[in-house]
Amino acid sequence: MKFIDSLNVVLQHEGGYAKVPMDKGGETYRGISRVNWPNWPGWPIIDQNKPLKKNDIIANRLLDKLVGNFYFENFWQKINADQLPGSIRTLLFDFAINSGVKTAVKVFQTVLEDTLNKQTFIDGIVGPETIKLANQANQKVLFDNFKEARLKFYNSIVANNPTQKKFLKGWLNRLDSFKYTTVLTTGFI
């Protein structure tokens, strides 16, 4: 999948505007948390359009471009998605957005180790070794193992912090929406 295709998948899950009590991210727009990204240049546009209801999406080309740039620069590029197998790009991209790049990549690297039965350096960075191993793996097995690891990750969040249980169903529905598809090429597609 190309970036724009993966972004569209992610944005379906992220929705529009939200300000959910007990959500650690606080106020969000298209999944961008004001708590975590207070200097994102889209906030002034959002503030100008208030009051907003849950899931409102503002019709503004500049804002759409800022959202796309945000995800490309902070997640897609950080996971070197264009160099990973197409079958797992969106799954890792989505997890990086949902859980943070370093956490998502460490989980992915652990899955790679287990899938290939090879020891690798688990550093939270998608570098040459991670890319090489990801492209060597059986893609269906890697996809299934990574999806299972995400499931365990979400369940562990709730086990460690029961106040987050209200988000579990959404996380699991989001995860369940990802289905394995064969992608015959890797690299810039």
* Ordered DSSP codes for 63-109: HHHHHHHHHIIIIITTTTGGGSBHHHHHHHHHHHHHH-HHHHHHHHH
Q: How high is the mean pLDDT in each 10-residue block of the chain (189 residues)?
A: 93 93 85 95 98 97 98 98 95 96 98 93 95 96 97 97 92 94 50
pLDDT for position 188 = 38
pTM of the model: 0.91
Q: What are phi and psi of 29, to 5 degrees?
A: -135, 120
pLDDT for position 46 = 98
Query: Do you know the residue count of the chain?
Result: 189
